[in-house]
Structure 1
Amino acid sequence: MTTTLGTASADPGEIDTGRLEVGETRDGSSFGLPVAVVNGASPGKTLYMQAVSDGDELNGIGVIQRVVPRLDPAEISGTILIVGIVNYHAFQVAEHRNPIDDTKMNRAYPGNENGTSSERIAAATFDVATRADIILDLHQGSTSRMIDEVRVRCGKRHRLYEDCLELAKAFGCGYVLDQKGPDGQLARAAPDEGIPTIDPELGGTVGWDETSIRKGVEGVFNVLRYYDFLAESHDLERQTRANGFEQYGAPNGGLVDFEKDLGDRVARGETLFEVTTAFGETKATVTADSDGILWRTRRLPQVASGEYVCSVGTDIDSY
């Protein structure tokens, strides 16, 4: 059966790319999101995958750019639907939020087809996403440095919690943040429609991180194998899970000097970082409130008092 997504249309055993029209720009010109359809030669499940719902988080589109050329529809069972760039307006200006309505796109789901710019884009992509059996919403840590991890955002009491956790384990980044997310996230809204959804957060920093992109490509193919899109098998491996998150700010202004590296275990009372003057004089020493893992840090060392410095994943276990 032919599968269409916007102007992309593929018969079984074919790939096609096109555009999903979602509105008009300020000069009245129509614009569309880049989309792809991979229609496997054999029937099977449907995977939906999207990237760049936050306009400066580019590692996800780096993953898609590398995954699609490696897909042979003759070897695929099922269908893969892809929206390569969700936050069209923010991507054009390399900003996090949609500059048309100053909205963070991943707070706008399930959207509103008659709403704001972000709500309309969210509604159009949500309509595509809910055609799927599983969903991957590819993100990164924006301007922070962060370990490669997967987020399960539906909450432990959700009826699809175990399915989302299984999908996170199948992706296999090694680290999982298992914490209910804010309203408006795709990984919150889609499970309410009965679709397991995860939010891989592929590293951080501004720009294009090859190590995290490669980790994301590996994760996508892990999912394709585990859910039988591809003939090869994929065995689940244990993941390190954080069930909580503690954030630390700077008590003073100055330069941050970290005592731990990303991914390091920290014990309660251990030094996380110092704030120093430009001459290396210590102004403040900040210690961990709980045992955990150094999960995320700011990218640049200069801080003002009260400014974000780092996050520690807490309540650590393995599953």
Structure 2
Amino acid sequence: MTTLGTATAAPGEMAVGRLPVGEARDGSEVALPVAVINGAHDGKTLYMQAVSDGDELNGVGVLQRLIPQLDPGELSGQLLVVGIVNMHAFHVAEHRNPIDDTKMNRAYPGDTNGTSSERIAAATYEAATRADVILDLHQGSTSRMINETRVRCGHRHRLHRECLELARVFGCGHILDQKGPNGQLARAAPDEGIPTIDPELGGCVGWDEASIRLGVRGVKNVLAHYGFHEGDVSIEPQTRATGFEQYGAPAGGLVSFHKDLAESVSRGDALFDVTDVFGTVKSTVTADSDGVFWRTRRLPQVATGEYVCSVGTDVDEV
């Protein structure tokens, strides 16, 4: 039998339930939706979670499409799934947990006696560290971003090779291979010896079908490569960036971009103009380095110093 929260499944079965993580302001229980898929045959354990940030819905879109396609009778090993991690933020369609104004993916490994976010992180971390492989499904918030996977353990980490291999298997086409901030699941779990990535499935308001389909394919690649079900995975070359430059607005106004997402950038290329409301160019911002046009803000209006776009730099192929 395999159990996660109130979900318990025998070999060859699937079960859904809830994982208690605390109480709301009215004293009612707060519990996350979970699923256990217990394969009919022995094998590894995969942990997946989505909606660590409350407005990043492409991950739960992947689970919604993927889980009904999985037959426990044909699987080896176990899948532990948390469908919505940041429940408080999900309910109000916000990025951060409104109870403690915390970005959930800065709270790992968590604290069972800590803040709301630390308690949720502790409960999900306990489940995640039962696994052999971890997928933390994200997206680029509500901004515009390419589909990518992120390797966050750092190049010198003993598990870097395994995390990079997992990113290549997932196969978004682009990889950001850069040590992440403290508190990220993809930073903490490799310290426990578990290969972990966070696929960043595009960026949108609501969800995006193309990114969701890519995510479903990526999880299926992982299931096949790591022996959860039969199948061959063709690992295609990935464009990797190990640097990441962000650009802000030197003036207030409206942004017009010179580059499209995933387009190559050379040092000195114009990235964007800031114009006044009548179209007069007030400032043009150029690239400091060669790279790939990675991410942009969604709305055109900007104030001085406000974030506009990002370029992945130090690019190679893996």
TM range (shorter): over 0.9
Structure-2 separation of matches of 1:258 and 1:205:
18
Whole-Å separation in 2 of the counterparts to 1:210 and 1:100: 30
Distance in 2, matches of 1:293 and 1:16, equals: 42
Instruction: Tell me how large the CA RMSD over aligned residues is.
Output: 0.6
Distance in structure 2 (CA, Å) of the matches to 1:256 and 1:214: 30
In structure 1, the partner of 2:23 is 24
Aligned to 1:126: 125
Deviation, 1:237, is 1.5
**Pair 1:247-2:246 in alignment:** yes
Check whether the contact 1:226–1:235 (CA below 8 A) recurs between aligned residues: no
TM-score normalized by the length of structure 2:
0.99
* Corresponding residue for residue 174 of structure 2: 175
Q: What is the alpha-carbon distance in structure 2 between the residues aligned to residue 269 and residue 94 of structure 1?
A: 38
- How far the C-alpha of 1:213 sits from its partner, in A, is 0.8
Q: Kindly state the Cα deviation for residue 188 of structure 1 after the two structures are TM-superposed.
A: 0.3
Distance 1:261 1:242 in 2: 17
1:165 CA drift (Å): 0.3
Rounded to whole Å, the distance in 1 between the matches of 2:272 and 2:29 is 49
What's the CA shift for 1:88?
A: 0.8
Corresponding residue of 1:264: 263
Amino acid at match of 2:107: A
Alignment map for 1:13-162 (pairs within 5 Å): 13-162=12-161
How far apart, CA to CA, are the structure 2 residues paired with 1:204 and 1:218? Answer: 18
Q: What is the aligned residue count?
A: 318
- 1:205 is displaced (CA, Å) by 2.1
Post-superposition offset of 1:235: 2.4
> What's the TM-score, normalizing by structure 1?
0.99
Q: Partner letter of residue 300 of structure 1?
A: L
Give the corresponding residue for 2:230. Answer: 231
Identity of aligned residues (%): 75
- What 5-or-longer segments of structure 2 have no aligned partner? none
Q: Deviations over 1:11-48 (max 9, x none)?
A: 11111100011111111111210000000010000000
Q: Is the 8 A contact 1:36 1:82 kept in 2?
A: yes
The superposition leaves residues 191-211 of structure 1 with CA deviations (integer Å, 9 ceiling, x where unpaired) of 000100001000012211111
Instruction: Name the amino acid aligned to 1:295.
Output: W
Name the stretch that deviates more: 144-153 or 206-215. Answer: 206-215
Distance in 1 of aligned mates of 2:281 and 2:210: 34
* Secondary structure at the counterpart of residue 150 of structure 2: strand
SS where residue 95 of structure 2 aligns?
A: coil
Q: How far apart in 2 are the matches of 1:263 and 1:159?
A: 30
Task: Report SS of the residue matched to 1:295.
Answer: strand
- Report the alpha carbon displacement of residue 160 of structure 1 after superposing the two structures with TM: 0.4
- Partner Cα separation in structure 1 for residue 24 and residue 269 of structure 2: 52
Contact 1:174-1:238 within 8 A present in 2 as well: yes
**After superposition, what is the alpha-carbon deviation per residue over 1:113-168, rounded to whole angstroms, capped at 9, x for unaligned?**
01100000000000000000000000000021000000000000000000000000
Kindly provide the amino acid, as one letter, of the partner of residue 147 in structure 2.
D
Distance in 1 between residues matched to 2:142 and 2:12, nearest whole Å = 39
Shift of the alpha carbon at 1:69? 0.3
Mapping for residues 198-237 of structure 1, pairs under 5 Å: 198-237=197-236
Deviations 1:215-257 (A, max 9, x none): 1111000100111111111122211000100000011111100
Separation in 1, partners of 2:300, 2:27:
43
Matches of 1:44 and 1:234, distance apart in 2? 18
User: Which residue of structure 2 lines up, in the alignment, with residue 287 of structure 1?
Assistant: 286
